[in-house]
Amino acid sequence: MDFFLLQLVNGLSLGAIYGLIAVGYSMVYGTIGLVNFAHGDIVMLGGFISLIGFLLLAPLGISIVPLALGSVLLVTIALTGLFGWLVERLAYRPLRGAPRLASLISAIGVSIILQNSVLLSQGASVKRLQPLVSGAFAVTVPGPVHLTIGIVQILIVVTAAVVMAAFAYVIRTTALGRAHRAMLQDRTMAALLGVNVDRMTTASFVIGSGFAAVAGLMVTLYYGAIDFSAGFVIGIQGLIAAVLGGLGSPAGAMFGGILIGLADAFWSGYFGVAYRDAAVFGILILVLIFRPAGLLGRAEVERI
């Protein structure tokens, strides 16, 4: 029972990270119908930027943990958002209206560029960070082993919840959110009714990259390590979460992320980590066979 609860807690914190990544995929897919294969690498960039930020703070003498976390988070979001903006500008905007295959291939190219520019500039080794947020709560549950919940895990889940709540508020109430929902429903019609498609696309990339930045920072905090190829597998996991929840639906993405996080944690806990990724890919293929539109998504009707 304790072991089960432990995996549940692990799964929830992993799921929060996957969910944030999945929302980034969903944002972009919702606005321009592109699966942004470079999103995982944007997460990796966010992780690197936050790691550099933490290391910068030490000589500056900022040692209060909440202040350090907050300032690094802001800087990471800003710089990662800038990367997202640049990627959209250089690699996706010229392909508006081009065959879908062209944008997908361009996205793969961007992913390779980001990964390898970090490899060339920062080296191939795994970069480690001293645990910044340590400590854990001991929770007494009936049973022989006592359960501990790391403060990092609580922090991750709470931050993800706050970010998602803010995002839901923006989507529900602001003009930007209304435009986003309109584009999700019918891109052409939204454009005809005066939604600025270019600006909305840029916004979705910047917001999506902001989510990636938060997720990247969490990856750095949670695992205490990051390397140039980290974005690939974690990006696929996030993408699978987005597909599971239904591409284009932010709530579905968060839901899918938590499901994938739980599957990940329980599989690792009970069957070992060796085939964990294979298990998650297996879930994806099952979903694609039985519910291609995702668990929460609605099936798209093709119109001529």
Smallest separation (angstroms) from another protein to the CB of 239: 6
Total residues at interface with another protein (CB under 8 A): 69
Q: Interaction with another protein in 275-294: which residues (CB under 8 A)?
A: 275, 277-278, 281-282, 284-285, 288-289, 292
**91 contacts another protein (rule: CB under 8 A):** yes
- Check residue 129 for interaction with another protein (CB under 8 A): yes
Piece of 64-72, 140-148, 183-191, 269-277 that binds another protein (CB under 8 A)? 269-277
158 binds another protein (CB under 8 A): no
Of the listed pieces 3-11, 50-58, 167-175, 189-197, which binds another protein according to CB under 8 A?
50-58
Instruction: Considering only residues 21 through 40, tell me which ones interact with another protein, judged by CB under 8 A.
Output: 35
The least CB distance from residue 161 to another protein, in Å, is 27
Judged by CB under 8 A, which of 9, 15, 83, 253 binds another protein? 83
198 contacts another protein (rule: CB under 8 A): no
Burial 224-251 (b: 16+ CB within 10 A, else e): eebbbbbbeebbbbbbbbbbbbbbbbbb
The answer to whether 170 and 250 have CB atoms below 8 angstroms apart is no
Provide the token pair at 192.
Answer: 């005809």
Binder of another protein out of 1, 3, 70, 117 (CB under 8 A)? 117
Residues 233-252, interacting with another protein (CB under 8 A): 233, 236, 239-240, 243, 247
Do residues 60 and 45 make contact, with C-beta atoms less than 8 angstroms apart? no
Closest listed residue to residue 114, CA positions, set 34, 38, 216, 53 = 38
**Residue 29 has what DSSP assignment?**
H
- Long-range (24+ apart) CB contacts under 8 A made by 136-141 are 141/1, 141/2, 141/5
Q: Write out the two tokens for 214.
A: 């938060």
What distance in Å separates the CA atoms of residue 201 and residue 3, rounded to the nearest whole number?
44
Tokens of 144: 């022989």
Backbone angles phi, psi at 148, to 5 degrees: -120, 140
Single residue of 20, 22, 79, 262 touching another protein by CB under 8 A? 79
Contact 114, 44 (CB under 8 A): yes
Residues that bind another protein (CB under 8 A): 35, 45, 48-49, 51-52, 55-56, 79, 82-83, 86, 90-91, 94-106, 108-123, 125, 127-130, 232-233, 236, 239-240, 243, 247, 274-275, 277-278, 281-282, 284-285, 288-289, 292, 300, 302, 304
